[in-house]
Structure 1
Amino acid sequence: MSIPSSADQLPLSAHPPGAIRGRDLVAGTIGAAVGATLTIGIVLLPIVVPELPQISAGSPFTIAIDECGASGTYVLLLDDGTALEMSTAGEETPGAEYEDVACILNELGMSETILSRIGTTRAMDGRQEGSWDGYVASWTYHPDDGLSILIEIDTKN
């Protein structure tokens, strides 16, 4: 009996070119099932669960955030996009970049008076409030924690 040479050995795959192997069939079936489930979920979710909160793409807060390129856990939309909470970095805590917060306040048309009041707030002043053109804001400042500001759409006017 002779030992076959490498030229005499069978190819590693005994399947003809283009043949579908069992594992390829399983992977394709799973992929199709996942895709169909996601498609059905995306199409039916708004119909089956209409009470889910919808943040309007046209919300002034969303527009301001997008215009300023702000993101992260320190710039948060609240209450279906009707409120915005932002926190800047302090000496001991992380936070949003000051430039991002200033840009958003500018995009929202915050008055110079309110900006000045924010800029002169001290830790011992406690929570301050102000309003302008359809918005109400409250904020605190401490050097260790930075600025924390909540802005809401003014529903009273």
Structure 2
Amino acid sequence: MTQHRHTRKRSPILWVFLAVLIVAVGVVLVPKMLLNGEGDDPAPVAASEADPMLTVIDKCDPAKQGLKLSDKNRKLTVDGYGKTTIAGLHEQAMTCVMETLQMPGALTDRMYSTVPDDGRLAGEWPGYTVTWTNDPEEGLDLTITRIG
């Protein structure tokens, strides 16, 4: 008599389940590990629904030394650093304000070339108006108003 060995076949369902689980984990975790948070950057102000004036404060003056919001976040007062002023925004933070609000380069050049004898000047670009004075002692001081 011959003996029959009974071998039990294993179901492939367990292996299919494990394969699907591994692929799902890979799809979710691998991009997060590779990006390392880089994909979490906020959208640029122009494309963002966030209040641009609040964005400027958070991004350019986290210490709250030279920017002040008023008029229901429609008016931004910018106090630039000067020789006689202790507080105020230095040039890098001032550039941050101008770039974040997408101020045209010709307007910023005009602001920096203003002298005290010019007094208070005004300009505008889409969505904003600005008035300013520039004095080496007091710094470049702006009042930016969001219109519309």
TM-score band (shorter)? 0.5 to 0.7
Whole-Å Cα distance in 1 between the matches of residues 110 and 78 of structure 2? 17
Q: What is the letter of the counterpart of residue 145 of structure 1? A: E
Match of 1:81 in 2: 73
Q: CA deviation at 1:88?
A: 1.2
Whole-Å Cα distance in 2 between the matches of residues 129 and 108 of structure 1? 16
TM-align CA RMSD? 1.6
Q: Given the alignment of the two structures, is residue 64 of structure 1 paired with residue 56 of structure 2, yes or no?
A: yes
Structure 1 residue ranges, 4+ long, deviating more than 6 angstroms after superposition: none
Q: Which runs of 5+ in 2 are unaligned?
A: 1-48
What TM-score, normalized by structure 2, do the two folds share? 0.62
Q: CA deviation at 1:67?
A: 2.7
Q: What is the letter of the counterpart of residue 124 of structure 1? A: D
The answer as to whether partners of 1:59 and 1:82 remain within 8 angstroms in 2 is no
Identity value in percent:
28
Match of 2:82 in 1: 90
Task: Give per-residue Cα distances to partners, 1:47-100, cap 9 Å, x unaligned.
Answer: xxxxxxxxxx93211112223354324210111100100111111112122211
Q: CA deviation at 1:107?
A: 0.5
The answer as to whether partners of 2:61 and 2:67 remain within 8 angstroms in 1 is no
Q: What is the letter of the counterpart of residue 58 of structure 1? A: A
Among candidates 139, 142, 145, match of residue 132 of structure 2: 139
What TM-score, normalized by structure 1, do the two folds share? 0.59
Aligned length: 99
Q: Which runs of 5+ in 1 are unaligned?
A: 1-56
Higher relative contact order (CA 8 A, sep 6+): 2
